[in-house]
């Protein structure tokens, strides 16, 4: 999503295995063919190669692709004329039904992993009421990944909240972290034995900033002090959730992902930069030291002057989101994450570009991956790269306008058509080399 105040303003202003079991059957155990999650880098990195076991994947999120997620706070906001949504999510990419095709596509293209999210409002439609059918659905989906030789990376929370939680204040309700941990435990009890890697919360900093500071995401509050309360609640929720997941079935790495920008200060703006970056990134980076890994999600840089965010630099091209095309930001943010987290294993859990020009996407990712290689050469433990996104999807308040996908989706028929970037990055993944 948009990386900060200036770009958010600009972007919003600009537009505003096949299922192995049938119903009622007992879910069987899939054959685990997936390769293990990458280990610490030990071999030589040449100019073009990545370490053995480097995990290549693509990422999506439930609300952006599943369709019909009518029981969450986003769906409610999309239908509120007072909100700024360009359009409703509706059927999205119909991936709730088409996931076997999607997972087969990920595998067929050459990727080793698929990162996707659980829809909390499907699994727990009312407070304390769990849906066996929804839990079985995600178990089948994770099993499908394993059947296809794909490492399933499960995100437990990606921006949406069940309506019952929103009615109680979402993250301002002091029971919310505990409720999230309970959901994580129930889900892990049901399919943790199949999970190979998990992210608790996707970009808590964006949830808090966009929802409680900028008033753009639900619940559309603009109040910095409430943003700080939500930041703290999300950190608590991450810790409680990690503990609940680790106490349940399975054994797999658990971590947090964060939206990071390569913050660059104009001369004399160092303090202004620190004041912006602390609540936006540092409070989270300082809270993940004991985790198994950390997920870096980067799209651009943010320039800061003495009075705050600066507009894009003249001459620098902009993406469909309204922010600078700046693939070098990935290297800067990996280096900072490594330093601030005290050197825990890193994955790039999201990186990509909203563009209608697929050649620009290939160029962007090539340059971003060059930054990953520079980090690896310096001994930074980067273990994988997930492109955002597998397919064109619902880009939150901006609707279906921005196209981040390596696969196009027909909005009428849901037909998937891989773009050249999908084949290209799949080949990079297969050869483990640029």
Q: How far is the first Cα of the chain from the last one, in angstroms, to the nearest whole number?
A: 27
Helix (H) or strand (E) holding 346: strand 346-351
**Should residue 258 be labelled a site residue for ligand GCO when binding is judged by CB under 6 A?**
no
CB of 202 to ligand GCO, least distance (A): 5
Residues 102-161 that bind ligand GCO (CB under 6 A): none
Residues with Cβ within 8 Å of residue 54, at least 6 apart in sequence: 38, 382, 383, 384, 385, 432
CB of 388 to ligand GCO, least distance (A): 5
**Residue 299: HSE in the Cβ half-sphere, 13 Å Cα cutoff:** 24
Options 203, 324, 331, 381; binder of ligand GCO; rule CB under 6 A: 203
CB of 61 to ligand GCO, least distance (A): 5
**Should residue 188 be labelled a site residue for ligand GCO when binding is judged by CB under 6 A?**
no
Q: Please identify, using beta-carbon distances, which residue of 41 and 180 lies nearer to ligand GCO.
A: 180
Options 58, 144, 202, 351; binder of ligand GCO; rule CB under 6 A: 202
CA distances to 157, 361, 385 from 199, rounded to whole Å, are 8, 26, 14
Q: Please identify, using beta-carbon distances, which residue of 86 and 206 lies nearer to ligand GCO.
A: 206
Please tell me the distance from the alpha carbon of residue 153 to that of residue 57, in angstroms, as a whole number. 9
Options 160, 209, 259, 403; binder of ligand GCO; rule CB under 6 A: 259
- Binding piece for ligand GCO, criterion CB under 6 A, among 12-20, 37-45, 198-206, 327-335: 198-206
Q: Map tokens 């399975």 to a residue.
A: 250
Options 6, 55, 61, 141; binder of ligand GCO; rule CB under 6 A: 61
Asked if residue 353 lies in contact with residue 321, where contact means CB atoms within 8 angstroms, the answer is: no
Q: Please identify, using beta-carbon distances, which residue of 341 and 349 lies nearer to ligand GCO.
A: 349
12: left (phi over 0), alpha (psi -120 to 50) or beta: alpha
- In eight-state DSSP terms, residue 337 is H
Helix (H) or strand (E) holding 11: helix 5-15
Residues 353-412 that bind ligand GCO (CB under 6 A): 388, 395, 404
**Should residue 350 be labelled a site residue for ligand GCO when binding is judged by CB under 6 A?**
yes
Six-digit token string for 208: 């808090």
Contact positions toward ligand GCO, by CB under 6 A?
1, 61, 64, 202-203, 206, 259, 297, 350, 388, 395, 404
């Amino acid at each position: 999503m948009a990386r900060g105040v200036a770009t958010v303003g600009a972007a919003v202003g600009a537009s505003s295995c096949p299922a192995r079991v049938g119903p009622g059957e007992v879910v069987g155990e899939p054959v685990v063919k997936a390769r293990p999650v990458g280990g610490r880098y030990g071999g030589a990195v040449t100019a073009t190669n990545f370490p053995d076991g480097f995990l290549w994947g693509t990422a999506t999120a439930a609300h952006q692709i599943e369709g019909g997620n009518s029981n969450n706070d986003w769906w409610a906001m999309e239908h509120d004329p007072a909100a700024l949504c360009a359009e409703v999510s509706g059927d999205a990419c119909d991936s709730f039904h088409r996931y076997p095709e999607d997972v087969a596509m990920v595998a067929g293209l050459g990727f080793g992993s698929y990162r996707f999210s659980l829809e909390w409002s499907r699994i727990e439609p009312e407070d304390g009421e769990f849906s066996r059918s929804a839990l079985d659905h995600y178990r089948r989906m994770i099993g499908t990944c394993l059947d296809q030789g794909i490492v399933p990376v499960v995100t437990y929370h990606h921006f949406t909240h069940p309506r019952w939680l929103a009615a109680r204040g979402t993250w301002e309700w002091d029971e919310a972290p505990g409720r999230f941990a309970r959901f994580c435990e129930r889900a892990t009890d049901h399919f943790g034995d199949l999970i190979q890697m998990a992210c608790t919360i996707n970009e808590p900093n964006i949830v808090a900033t966009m929802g409680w500071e900028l008033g753009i995401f639900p619940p559309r509050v603009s109040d910095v002090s409430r943003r700080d309360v939500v930041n703290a609640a999300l950190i608590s929720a991450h810790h409680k959730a990690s503990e609940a997941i680790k106490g349940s079935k399975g054994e797999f790495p658990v971590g947090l992902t964060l939206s990071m920008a390569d913050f660059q200060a104009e001369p004399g703006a160092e303090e202004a930069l620190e004041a912006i970056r602390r609540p936006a990134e540092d409070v989270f980076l300082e809270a993940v030291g004991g985790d198994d890994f950390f997920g870096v999600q980067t799209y651009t840089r943010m320039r800061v002057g003495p009075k705050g965010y600066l507009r894009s630099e003249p001459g620098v091209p902009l993406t469909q989101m309204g922010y600078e095309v700046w693939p070098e930001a990935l290297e800067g943010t990996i280096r900072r994450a490594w330093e601030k987290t005290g050197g825990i294993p890193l994955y790039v859990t999201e990186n990509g570009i909203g563009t209608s020009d697929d050649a620009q996407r290939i160029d962007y990712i090539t340059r971003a991956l060059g930054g990953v290689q520079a980090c690896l050469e310096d001994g930074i433990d980067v273990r994988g790269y997930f492109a955002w996104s597998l397919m064109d999807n619902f880009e939150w308040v901006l609707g279906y306008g921005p196209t981040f996908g390596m696969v196009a989706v027909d909005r009428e028929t849901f037909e998937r058509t891989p773009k050249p970037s999908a084949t290209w990055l799949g080949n990079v993944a297969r050869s483990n080399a640029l």
